[in-house]
Every structure is written in structure tokens, then in C-alpha cells.
Structure 1
């Protein structure tokens, strides 16, 4: 694992950072003491779940999800949180150049050596793809000599067919329990997912273990 001075996570929803990079962040923190900033573009206010029993209603969900995001990031030992103020499930309708300009400002202010986000077009959710597209466009506007490395998450089933195997795979075996705790912090959205995941892990399900244990990234080539 290359030593990084500062990592910036750029994801659209609270919980994307946890599923996508919790173990990777913790590895960087433990091995190198890397500073980490996590930016969420939205508060996840359109999330389909409210908890069971409910921990939020439609009016309070954005507040609850911000609190869950903060708890998860604390478990992930993240140093700085940013809320960028976009509306959930509408990122695909935003002007891509305006969002890219905003993200460029964020990147330049944070001044990371590594950015982690979604791979545009291969990330299932419209908000995921729109975020990845805006991040790529923002990075293109930064002079090459000043541009941080971009690691991307591609989670569509056909990703490997489209772009090949990931060039970075982190085995977070020793950090799986902490990653599961961070997932649990997103209580309103993840109670059922977390319960099923833990049950399958206890049964020795290899696919579930691989899903949690191996964090894969593609280095984006400009």
C-alpha cells in the first residue's frame, strides 16, 4: 500500500464511504497515519428505509442520516467531514460542469494526494454515476502535475468485462469487525443488510466474506 499524505473520499450518500472504503481507510490510518477527509454530496434524505422499528420519519431522515454518517466516520477514524448540500436522487439532473466546478474547489481546498469515488457508468445508481462523472471532470480541470491519483469503485456486474480486473485489491481481514460496526452505524438503512450479512458470515458463506473482506479499486487513467 502506497503511503498517502491525505485521502479525500467523494461519495453521493452517507454509507457509500463505509461499504466502499472503510477497511482501506483504516489500513491507511493504521499503517501511515494518513489524514482522511470524507465528503458526502447529499444527506441521503430519499433513502428507502426508516429503520425497523423506525428510527426516523420522512422529515427527520436527513438529520438522522447525517448523525449516522458522523458515527460511521468516527468508527472509520476519519479526520474531517464535509456536507456538500446536494439533493438526494437528483444528481443526474444537475449541470455536470457546475458540480465539477464545485468539486474542483473542494479537491483544491483539501489538497489530497488520493481521491476515492465511483467509476462513472459502472456504479449502478444514477447518483453514483453522476458523482463519478463530476469527479472525473473536476480532476481533468486540475493541471496534471497537481492532480491527485483517482481510485474508483466499479460495482456493476459487468465492470470487469468493461474495464478489466481491478488493479488494487485490499484484503481487510483484520479490520472486518470494525467495518461491520461502521455499517451498523447506518442504522436507518442497514439493519436488514447487516443482519443478513452477519448471518451469512457466521455460516461461512464465501461470497459474503469476499464482499466485505476485499475492497477493489480501479485507478482512473486520464
Structure 2
């Protein structure tokens, strides 16, 4: 059984789409979970249809959504204040050292993050790489396991099958509520899924019912 789980993703909603079922399972088992969120996703292009936000108001909207999503998941939230779409330009060394300091205070047994170079978005790749680097710098005796999430089209071809495949259908309702808390990002996607599918529930289960990770080898 895990002692404490730390989730490290760059954007509000990464936790919802990527790991909220797994997080819910841990919380149901009484395991504390802390989410280190890198940015507020303030450079996101999704302003709603009809438009509900502009570049000035979006950061505060996404911050409120993030806080609400973390209430749904019952996790502790730490917002790290980096700027959206710039993480690839931050000093990897400085970000890794900052994350290492946080992790050494929390002392998690497991870290969940993106798999560098297989996470599609430059922020995902950069923050995942910094998280892996942070853990690699920790004392080997206190180093947590890392579950790295790959979402590129070629990840199975390049990396093989994931080590961990969690069936999260028992927690799908909580996952959907977490996604829906990020209303600015989820609204369009949910509408499109409803338009494109004859059986919405079956589509949700097929697309969102499993969460997969690779165990990072140091």
C-alpha cells in the first residue's frame, strides 16, 4: 500500500483526463494525494462557445476550476506558478531542484507524471522530464517509484506495453465530475463526444475507462 502519492502535471485538467480514476482509487483506500500543478493553463485557446473568457480573465477561471476539481478528488493542491507554454524554456536544473525540495518534504512512495518525449505537449514533456530528474536526485533509500504516463501515438511501438493498466470504471463517475469541473476545457470535448457517438456512456467507458503508466527505471 502506498504511503503518499504525488501527482506532477503542468496544466489544470491534466490530472482529470490523465489520472483522476487512479487518484480516486488511492483516496478511497485512505492514501493521501498531493497534486503539484505547474501552470494555470492561461495560454489555452479554449475561450468557450459562446465566448465566456478572454486572455485576461482565463487564468482566474482556470484557477477556480482547478481548485474545484481538487475538491472533487479530495487531494491537496500546490500551484507552482510557472507560465503556461514556457516550461520547455525553464532551466531543467532549477525546476528539478524545486520539485526535489517539495518531494523531500512530502516523502511520497509514488510519483505520477508524464513520460518525457512521449507526452505530446512541450509542457508535458518538459515537466515530466524535470519530475523524473528531481526523483533521480533524491537519496536512493528515500526515492519514490515513478509512474510515467505516455500519450503519444507511438508510445506502445517505442516503449512496449505499459507496466500498469488501471481499470478505473468503478471510479468513472468521479473522473467525469473532475473533468467537468474544468468546464472551460471539457465543455467542447464532451459536446463533440456526444455528437460523434450513438452511445455516449459506452464511448466514455472506452475512451476514459483505463489509465496506463510505465514504471520509470533509474
Secondary structure of 1:142's counterpart equals coil
The structural deviation recorded for 1:144 is 1.2
**Correspondent of 1:108 among 98, 104, 121:** 104
- TM-score of the two chains, using structure 2 as the length reference: 0.95
Secondary structure of 2:11's counterpart equals coil
**Correspondent of 1:195 among 191, 194, 198:** 191
1:179-210 CA-partner distances (Å, limit 9, x unpaired): 11111111112211122335566616866533
1:91-126 CA-partner distances (Å, limit 9, x unpaired): 001111111111111111221111000000000000
Distance 1:198 1:217, change over 3 A: farther
Secondary structure of 2:15's counterpart equals helix
Please say if 1:74 is aligned against 2:83: no
The structural deviation recorded for 1:74 is 1.1
User: 1:199 and 1:180 mapped to 2: Cα distance?
Assistant: 17
Range with greater deviation from structure 2 (195-204 or 154-163): 195-204
User: 2:43 and 2:59 mapped to 1: Cα distance?
Assistant: 8
**Correspondent of 1:38 among 25, 29, 35:** 35
The structural deviation recorded for 1:75 is 1.1
CA contact (8 A) 1:48 1:189 kept: no
User: 1:190 and 1:208 mapped to 2: Cα distance?
Assistant: 13
**Correspondent of 1:47 among 44, 49, 54:** 44
The structural deviation recorded for 1:22 is 0.5
CA contact (8 A) 2:107 2:142 kept: no
Distance 1:175 1:199, change over 3 A: farther
Which residue in 2 is equivalent to 1:130? 126
**Correspondent of 2:211 among 209, 212, 215:** 215
Tell me the matched-pair count: 218
In the alignment, structure 2 segments of 5+ residues that lack a partner are none
- TM-score of the two chains, using structure 1 as the length reference: 0.93
- Two-structure CA RMSD over aligned residues (Å): 1.6
